[in-house]
């Protein structure tokens, strides 16, 4: 019994210790599992956070790329349009010369020849008045567009000087001409009331004629300066040759500008190019000249003689002028500006040597004698050339020898020029 009891107690003890051991082991296992789970959960959370931040980053990148894509698409569109524009063949610019029937016009292309062409249905035929600039299709030359009025060519066609720097003292040998120009232009501008009191109309314009380089432009500039008038210079030949089809419009513009800038003097150089005797020939060019002349006459008739716009015309060929331009009320004073005589040449030489450092041996009287037939522009060239001769020899004063060489050179050129026609005659015979 005691033995049995002993065994039973022992077993109980062992059982107890085993149970406790098992319990401890179980607890330890449970703790381990819990710890692992916690670690895994934490790791999972960290990964989620990392993924979320990557998503955010990718979303930002996506937005950035979308913006870039939009920008590139815009650029692409611009380049595509530019390319389309480059592929379109250029249009030819022309000027309407005449209207023929309802839907046809004669145009002068900017390259020179005139064509009879159709008007596209997109263009209103009413807009196509002579002188309008139009765009022509390259192949059919159909008028496809009308160019807007371009005011810019005004500047190109005219030379405008608010206050020219030429004084009467700068003009040599033309006292009589200066006197006459002063009477006709200066007096009406400065004292219009005198003419009113006396009851006569002052001339609207004067015509200066004479060989090139005799000082016609100088005269006009000097009178503009003296009367504080704006000097507007246009060249007749340019009006009809350089600005094809725009001559008449330009004349209108010139007078408009002259009125805006009044008092003013319009100086039309080479007026024979627009005012030559009219013929019955009806070539495009002749019509152009006629239209320009008609416009000039209309403008001259349209303004008040006592007003403050005066016109000075200049020509080397008075013999070919249309009588209409010389009628009273237009260019009713004609003044000859001849090549200077010896006295005139001396005066011109004095003017152009005013600022030159001359050696004592320089005798201007002798140079004036030597330069028979030279005009003012040539005398000026002689003075400049003499100065150049001195500079070539590194001198700061000009000698008589320099002048003699210059006279030889300039007069030599003159001779070649005179002989030219004979030479050509021989060639063409
Ligand atoms: P064109 O018929 O070729 O237009 P133009 O008669 O108008 O010639 P200007 O332009 O006035 O001649 O003259 C050209 C230059 O010659 C002037 O700038 C001036 O320096 C000189 N000149 C001409 N004539 C004279 C003169 N009488 N007195 C002083 N200088 C003169």
User: pLDDT at position 419, please?
Assistant: 43
Which class for 27: exposed (0-12), middle (13-18), buried (19 or more C-beta within 10 A)?
A: exposed
pLDDT surpasses 90 at 44 = yes
pLDDT surpasses 70 at 282 = no
Give the Cα separation of 264 and 256 in Å (integer).
11
Give 345-377 pLDDT, tens digit per residue. 999 999 999 888 888 888 888 888 888 888 889
Best probe residue, ligand 1, of 161, 175, 209, 214 (max atoms within 8 Å of C-beta): 214
List, by residue number, the catalytic residues: 420
Mean pLDDT throughout 124-133? 84
Where is pLDDT greater, at 125 or 244?
A: 125
Mean pLDDT for all residues in the chain: 83
User: pLDDT at position 424, please?
Assistant: 36
Mean pLDDT throughout 375-382? 90
How is residue 88 annotated by DSSP?
Answer: S
Closest ligand 1 atom number to CA of residue 174:
27
388 alpha carbon – ligand 1 mean position (Å) = 20
pLDDT surpasses 70 at 37 = yes
Give the Cα separation of 218 and 227 in Å (integer).
14
Residues having CB closer than 6 A to ligand 1 are 171-174, 212-218, 269, 314, 316, 348, 351, 376-377, 380
175 alpha carbon – ligand 1 mean position (Å) = 15
- Least confident range of 110-124, 133-147, 218-232: 110-124
Distance, CA of 428 to chain centre: 40
The residue nearest atom 8 of ligand 1, judged by CA position, is 213
CB 390, CB 397: distance < 8 Å = yes
Question: Can you tell me which residue has the tokens 């030359």?
Answer: 141
211 alpha carbon – ligand 1 mean position (Å) = 10
Mean pLDDT throughout 28-56? 94
Distances (CA, A) of 378 to 8, 211, 401, 410: 156, 12, 18, 7
Where is pLDDT greater, at 421 or 156?
A: 156
Pairing of strands 205-209, 331-336: parallel
Where is pLDDT greater, at 247 or 119?
A: 119
Closest ligand 1 atom number to CA of residue 171:
28
pLDDT surpasses 80 at 317 = yes
pLDDT surpasses 70 at 154 = no
This prediction has a pTM of 0.62
Q: What share of the chain is helix, strand, coil (3-state, %, to 5)?
A: 55, 15, 25
Closest ligand 1 atom number to CA of residue 220:
11
User: pLDDT at position 250, please?
Assistant: 78
> Within 13 A of 348's CA, how many CA atoms are on the CB side?
28
Mean pLDDT throughout 77-82? 90
User: pLDDT at position 427, please?
Assistant: 33
Closest ligand 1 atom number to CA of residue 221:
11
Distances (CA, A) of 287 to 164, 248, 424: 35, 11, 31
331 alpha carbon – ligand 1 mean position (Å) = 21
378 alpha carbon – ligand 1 mean position (Å) = 9
User: pLDDT at position 429, please?
Assistant: 31
């Amino acid at each position: 019994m005691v033995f049995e009891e002993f065994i039973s107690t022992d077993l109980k003890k062992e059982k107890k210790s085993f149970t406790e051991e098992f319990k401890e082991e179980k607890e330890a296992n449970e703790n381990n599992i819990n710890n692992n789970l916690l670690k895994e959960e934490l790791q999972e959370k960290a990964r989620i956070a990392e993924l979320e931040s990557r998503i955010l980053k990718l979303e930002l990148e996506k937005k950035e790329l979308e913006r870039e894509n939009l920008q590139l698409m815009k650029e692409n569109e611009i380049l595509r349009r530019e390319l389309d524009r480059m592929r379109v063949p250029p249009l030819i610019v022309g000027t309407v010369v005449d209207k023929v029937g309802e839907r046809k016009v004669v145009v002068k292309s900017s390259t020179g020849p005139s064509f009879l062409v159709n008007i596209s249905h997109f263009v209103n035929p009413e807009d196509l008045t002579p002188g309008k600039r139009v765009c022509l299709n390259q192949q059919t030359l159909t008028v496809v567009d009308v160019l807007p009025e371009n005011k810019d060519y005004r500047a190109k066609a005219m030379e405008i000087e608010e206050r020219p720097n030429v004084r009467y003292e700068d003009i040599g040998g033309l006292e009589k001409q200066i006197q006459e120009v002063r009477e006709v232009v200066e007096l009406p501008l400065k004292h219009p009331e005198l003419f009113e009191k006396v009851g006569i109309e002052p001339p609207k314009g004067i015509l200066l004629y004479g060989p090139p380089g005799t000082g016609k432009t100088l005269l006009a500039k000097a009178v503009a300066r003296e009367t504080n008038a704006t000097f507007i210079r246009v060249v007749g030949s340019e009006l009809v040759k350089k600005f094809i089809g725009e001559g008449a419009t330009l004349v209108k513009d010139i007078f408009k500008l002259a009125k805006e800038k009044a008092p003013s003097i319009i100086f039309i150089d080479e007026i024979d190019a627009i005012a030559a005797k009219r013929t019955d020939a009806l070539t495009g060019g002749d019509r152009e000249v006629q239209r320009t002349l008609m416009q000039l006459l209309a403008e001259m008739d349209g303004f008040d003689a006592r007003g403050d716009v005066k016109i000075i015309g200049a020509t080397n060929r008075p013999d070919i002028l249309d009588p209409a331009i010389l009628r009273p009320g237009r260019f009713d004073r004609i003044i000859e500006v001849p090549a200077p005589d010896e006295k005139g040449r001396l005066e011109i030489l004095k003017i152009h040597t005013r600022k030159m450092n001359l050696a004592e041996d320089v005798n201007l009287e002798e140079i004036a004698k030597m330069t028979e037939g030279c005009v003012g522009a040539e005398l000026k060239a002689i003075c400049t050339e003499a100065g150049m001769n001195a500079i070539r020899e590194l001198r700061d004063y000009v000698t008589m020898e320099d002048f003699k060489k210059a006279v030889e050179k300039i007069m030599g050129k003159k001779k070649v020029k005179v002989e030219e026609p004979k030479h050509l005659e021989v060639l063409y015979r």
